[in-house]
A and B are shown apart, each in its own frame.
Chain A
Amino acid sequence: MQMIAEITNQEMLENNVVISAEEVSVFYSDKQALNSVSLDIPENQITSLIGPSGCGKSTFLRCLNRMNDTVEGCRVEGLITLEGQDIYAPSVDEVLLRAKVGMVFQKPNPFPKSIYENVAYGPRIHGLARNKDELDDIVLTSLEKAGLLNEVRDRLNSTGTSLSGGQQQRLCIARALAVQPDIILMDEPCSALDPIATAKVEELIEELRINYTIIIVTHSMQQAARISQKTAFFHLGEIVEVGDTEQLFTSPSDSRTQGYITGRFG
């Protein structure tokens, strides 16, 4: 009998680890938000972080491009390496780090500028284009990759905020892609979108996986199950279970994971 639980770990083993977190703890002043979390993020895969509110999954995500640096009283302990390099080393330029590790937020947050300018802003400040033609090229390619070009080709000068919610989120993804990141962090990117817009963003995320490594925080179990290859379940600042998404959603090994994903928590 062929069972769904019998899946191979082979794909996971063959992939390089691109980001590695070792015993990462995070404190907000004296409150501990993460407790000794270790997680390897495989290259060109979608890793989803799930868990109840306040479990530390967003905190963990924000550690990966040092977004927590901007939070007052926040202290990060442990080691996070990106392709073997400690991202918290004094020599690291966090602006460059954030270009390499891009981020898409829960609510689409385009700048109050034109669609073109939204995408062109990053490459311009990072000096990625030598002239207008190169910049045009980056903008159009990024919009294309984000699956938005066909919808906005004729109105690149309209404001980004004039787009629909789903389009705005894809614009934000295009903006992240424009600075040529390797990794894209997504913090509940679809929670403000309707099912159709969600489906489009999910489809896009799956396509992006070919060229990028994606880490996504989501409150939707179905979304994690649909799009990710690897899932980590966070609870009370710790990783309870991490594994192949298929395995985790059919036969989780920890009873807390089982309780959470089946809706028996509490």
Chain B
Amino acid sequence: MSKTGHIVRSFDDDLQELRNAIIEMGGLAEAQLTNAIRALTDRDSRLAEETITADAIVDKMEQDIDALAIRMLALRNPVADDLRLVISALKISSLLERVADYAANLAKRVIALNMVPIIRPVSALPRMADLVRHMIDDILTAFAQEDVDLAFDVWRRDKEVDLLYDSMFRELLTYMMEDPRSITSCTHLIFMAKNIERIGDHMTNIAEMIIYQITGQAPLGKRPKGDNTSMTMIDSQLSGQPKE
């Protein structure tokens, strides 16, 4: 937060409005994820329906933030840290909108899953979601308090989500091989896990925006990653391959 106010006080009001809108939108996106996961664990299709409907509210908030940011760019000609805040708000709002989309997609798949008997690996999803929810929570705190260290912390933490996704992916593959009747459910679960993993990725993107906004520089170096599923093979396939 800026130490001194602008000479034009309404400029400060606009900046504060922008900050508040991002925090509110982030809170809503987080709630969407929470509800989608609760709908899964409680097998509550109605809550899932509500979550899908509520996505429109998040979309509207993104539009409002865009409009406010564009107005500020046009009328206030922000520079330096003000410019960086407006630009990062524009980007963060579109990332949060994607987060809410993933939550809505989770909710849709919950409705599908609720039509068939429950399967065991479902329990790993809420654990992953918990990790990601903490990331959302911390990233919003980092944004509100302009806390670079906390933003960096979230940036690095995505690796844990990736690792969990990786192990869940393997578990689901094995599960499908053991019981082909579970393929439909497991496929939904793989997509759901991927959705949550993507939300984690978006948190690192937001962390980068916040770090840029505060310091004027994007974080250097590669972000730690743990998702190796694009290379994952099942053991039986590996052993079936011709030897060199």
Contact residues of A with B, CB < 8 Å?
Answer: 1, 3-6, 221-222, 225, 249-252, 257-259, 261-266
> Closest chain B residue to A252 by CB distance?
B80
Q: Which residues of B contact A266 (CB under 8 A)?
A: 7
In the bound complex, what is the Cα–Cα distance between A265 and B80 (angstroms)? 14
Confirm or deny: B5 has a beta carbon within 8 angstroms of a beta carbon on chain A.
Answer: yes
Q: How far is the CB of A8 from chain B (nearest CB, A)?
A: 14
Confirm or deny: B53 has a beta carbon within 8 angstroms of a beta carbon on chain A.
Answer: no
In the bound complex, what is the Cα–Cα distance between A263 and B84 (angstroms)? 15
Q: How far is the CB of A75 from chain B (nearest CB, A)?
A: 35
The answer to whether B78 touches A251, judged by C-beta atoms less than 8 angstroms apart, is no
Q: Which residues of B contact A263 (CB under 8 A)?
A: 6-8, 11
In the bound complex, what is the Cα–Cα distance between A249 and B77 (angstroms)? 11
Q: Which residues of A contact B87 (CB under 8 A)?
A: 4
Confirm or deny: B208 has a beta carbon within 8 angstroms of a beta carbon on chain A.
Answer: yes
Contact with A along B218-235 (1 / 0, CB 8 A): 100000000000000000
Known: A258-B80, A262-B79, A263-B11. A251 touches B6 (CB 8 A): no
Known: A262-B6, A263-B8, A266-B7. A3 touches B81 (CB 8 A): no
Q: Which residues of B contact A225 (CB under 8 A)?
A: 79
Q: Which residues of B contact A262 (CB under 8 A)?
A: 6, 78-82
Q: How far is the CB of B14 from chain A (nearest CB, A)?
A: 12
- 7 CB-based A-B contacts, threshold 8 Å: A3-B212, A5-B212, A222-B77, A251-B216, A259-B4, A262-B79, A266-B7
Within 8 A of A (CB), among B61-119: 77-84, 87
In the bound complex, what is the Cα–Cα distance between A108 and B208 (angstroms)? 48
Q: How far is the CB of B221 from chain A (nearest CB, A)?
A: 12
Confirm or deny: B217 has a beta carbon within 8 angstroms of a beta carbon on chain A.
Answer: yes
Q: Which residues of B contact A3 (CB under 8 A)?
A: 212, 217-218
Partner of A251, one of B4, B11, B208, B217: B217
Q: How far is the CB of B6 from chain A (nearest CB, A)?
A: 5
